[in-house]
């Protein structure tokens, strides 16, 4: 009986497989000739366990135990697309979307940029968060110019880091290269359909109160500055917009691509108001609502006006009054 169980287990392992189809999201058709890899997350060498090429119908198959694999990755036109699944989840009938690549941004654009300033001790930690939104069906990538271009001060030196997060992915550190302009850097990272975010971080020497100046290279979205509660900014073209309730970060607007601010106070986001000792994410600090504050304010006023009108009508009805479309009251 024991030997029968061993044979059954061996038979199950023998027929264990990971299979699916790669679909081109740009054309809507199966993608033949795509290289599909199996990777185990957490391995130091990042080398695939196995690789296959999709057939004419875009299908692929690995005769491997799916319990040991957590990532399926397909390469198309130099860009990787990943599908993560947990052990025990279905490993057959998988669909992995890839997209054609263009060097033109098209409808892809930056929808939000926030620079977080955290003065502490003898240094200033700077985190510049940029979010790209690609609503189309094609990936934007420009290896020569870089899809992300940004400015950083020379004092940043070796502390300069960039992490990118693909749609539905996790932050991954990226290679940073100097551009053809002093203080400007570029990152070659594809902007896939969906939302891609970047975090540019560095540390510079600083003593509070003190001054810091910066600039943005993008023109799609307004630049916002954020500081921990208790840290204030002042400077030409910089105005306080309000406080984000959850992180209690102070949010400032900036007029123009360059700014120079005087920073007073010290603090780190996430360490105030009993927050855990870890960095706040961009969405926690500045929800998308700030980008549409005037539209939302206008909608709120319209709703209030409608409420007052309905209340007035109800009061009029209770007094035996009826308001006609002409504005006259009748008993």
Average pLDDT of the segment spanning 231-248: 95
Where does the pLDDT of residue 15 fall: very low under 50, low under 70, confident under 90, or very high at 90 and above? low
Classify 49 as helix, strand or coil: coil
- Using CA atoms of 297, 298, 300, 302 in order, give the dihedral in degrees to the nearest 10: 160
Comparing 272 with 268, the larger pLDDT belongs to 268
**Residue 291 confidence (pLDDT):** 44
Q: What angle do CA 288, 133, 199 make, to 5 degrees?
A: 75
Candidates 67, 20, 18, 61; CA nearest to 40 is 67
Mean pLDDT of the chain: 82
Asked whether residue 74 carries a pLDDT value surpassing 90, the answer given is: yes
Residue 96 near residue 83, CB atoms below 8 Å: yes
Q: What distance in Å separates the CA atoms of residue 111 and residue 130, rounded to the nearest whole number?
A: 8
Q: Is the pTM of this model over 0.85?
A: no
Q: What distance in Å separates the CA atoms of residue 35 and residue 59, rounded to the nearest whole number?
A: 11
**Burial level of 272, CB count in 10 A (0-12/13-18/19+)?**
middle
Average pLDDT of the segment spanning 97-108: 97
Asked whether residue 304 carries a pLDDT value surpassing 60, the answer given is: no
pLDDT in tens, 29-50: 999 999 999 988 766 666 788 9
Q: Which has the minimum average pLDDT: 86-100, 163-177, 221-235, 266-280?
A: 266-280
Asked whether residue 257 carries a pLDDT value surpassing 90, the answer given is: yes
Residue 185 near residue 160, CB atoms below 8 Å: yes
Q: Which has the minimum average pLDDT: 140-144, 149-153, 231-235, 290-294?
A: 290-294
**Residue 85 confidence (pLDDT):** 75
């Amino acid at each position: 009986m024991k030997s029968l169980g061993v044979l059954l287990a061996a038979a199950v392992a023998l027929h264990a497989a990971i299979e699916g189809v790669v679909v081109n999201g740009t054309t809507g058709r199966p993608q033949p000739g795509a290289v599909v890899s199996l990777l185990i997350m957490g391995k130091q060498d990042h080398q695939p366990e196995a690789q296959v090429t999709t057939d004419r119908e875009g299908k692929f198959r690995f005769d491997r135990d799916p319990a040991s694999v957590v990532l399926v990755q397909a390469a198309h036109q130099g860009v990787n697309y990943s599908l993560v699944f947990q052990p025990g989840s279905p490993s057959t009938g998988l669909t992995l979307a890839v997209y054609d690549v263009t060097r033109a941004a098209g409808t892809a654009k930056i929808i939000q940029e926030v620079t977080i300033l955290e003065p502490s001790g003898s240094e200033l930690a700077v985190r510049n968060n940029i979010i790209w939104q690609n609503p189309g069906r094609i990936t934007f990538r420009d290896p020569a110019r870089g899809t992300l271009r940004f400015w950083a001060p020379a004092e940043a030196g070796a502390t300069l880091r960039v992490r990118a997060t693909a749609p539905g992915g996790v932050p991954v550190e990226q290679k940073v290269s100097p551009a053809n302009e002093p203080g400007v850097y570029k990152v070659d990272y594809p902007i896939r359909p969906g939302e891609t975010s970047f975090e540019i971080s560095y540390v510079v020497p600083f003593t509070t109160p003190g001054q810091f100046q910066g600039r943005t290279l993008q023109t799609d979205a307004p630049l916002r500055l954020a500081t921990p509660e208790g840290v204030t900014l002042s400077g030409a073209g910089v105005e306080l917009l309000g406080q984000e309730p959850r992180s209690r970060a102070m949010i400032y607007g900036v007029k123009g691509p360059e700014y120079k601010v005087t920073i007073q106070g010290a603090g780190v986001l996430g360490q105030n108001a009993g927050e855990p000792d870890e960095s706040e994410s961009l969405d926690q600090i500045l929800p998308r609502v700030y980008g549409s504050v005037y539209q939302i304010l206008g909608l709120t006023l319209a709703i209030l006006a409608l409420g007052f009108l309905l209340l007035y009508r109800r009061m009029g009805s209770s007094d035996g009054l009826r308001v006609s479309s002409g504005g006259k009251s009748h008993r």
